[in-house]
Amino acid sequence: MADAPECSQELAFFGQVTASVTHELKNYLALINEYNGLLCDLVMAHEMGRELDLGRLKSLCGDIKRQVVAGGAVLDHLNGLAHSVDQQVRTVDLGRCLGLFVGLSRRSDARQGVELELMPPPEAISLRTQLFTLLRGLWQCLEAALAACPAGGRLTLEAAIEGGQARLSLRGATPAGPGQAACAPAAALLSALGASFSRQEDGSVRLCLPLDGA
């Protein structure tokens, strides 16, 4: 993505996220399909004389409901991404934005065998920015952290106000090697956000953003 024009990079980001999210949705539908199929199988077996296990049926109904709720949450996240371009610049609640981001990136980090945990900010943090651009910046920070995070690892996303800025940290990556150190958000993107990116000695990556009104 680094060599593509900025407009293409935005489309590429949108494509990456929607590919990942729609794949996740397909998995929920596949599970619902199997639970429904098993319900039909058990009913058919009952019609052929097998005893009906009501507890199993109730359990399967609960399983279907759970997958519908989980799939609905994924759709909400996708809808959130679609609406992130509605306004060029607006006041963004960072805690809500991070919740949306973690929801959108869940499959992407799981595919690499890494769990991403969000620590909600201890206080409300407001930014004046374009939500879509902020999500892109977060995505590229995550890619930078994942490049240096072993499979089976855990990344923790934290946010706090520090030195008059919003400071986002992704902890859990190992100190990066020469190839991994090159993985960082694009300069044009950081410029659009008015942000600075750094990789700490312990491997964690950090994004600092101006607060609303700063």
Q: Which stretches of the chain bind another protein, using CB under 8 A? A: 19, 22-23, 26-27, 29-35, 37-38, 41-42, 45, 63, 110-113, 151
Least distance from another protein to the Cβ atom of residue 71, Å: 13
Least distance from another protein to the Cβ atom of residue 104, Å: 17
In the complex with another protein, the residue whose CB is nearer, 63 or 93, is: 63
CA distances from 23 to 32, 70, 96, 206 (A): 14, 14, 24, 29
User: 203 — alpha (psi -120 to 50), left (phi > 0) or beta?
Assistant: left
Which residues have C-beta within 8 Å of that of residue 57, sequence separation ≥ 6? 39, 42
In the complex with another protein, the residue whose CB is nearer, 27 or 196, is: 27
In the complex with another protein, the residue whose CB is nearer, 68 or 181, is: 68
First to last CA, the chain: 31
Least distance from another protein to the Cβ atom of residue 59, Å: 11
Least distance from another protein to the Cβ atom of residue 132, Å: 24
User: Is-contact 167 206, C-beta < 8 A?
Assistant: yes
Considering only the C-alpha atoms of the chain, give the largest distance between any 2 of them, rounded to a whole number of Å: 73
In the complex with another protein, the residue whose CB is nearer, 70 or 85, is: 70
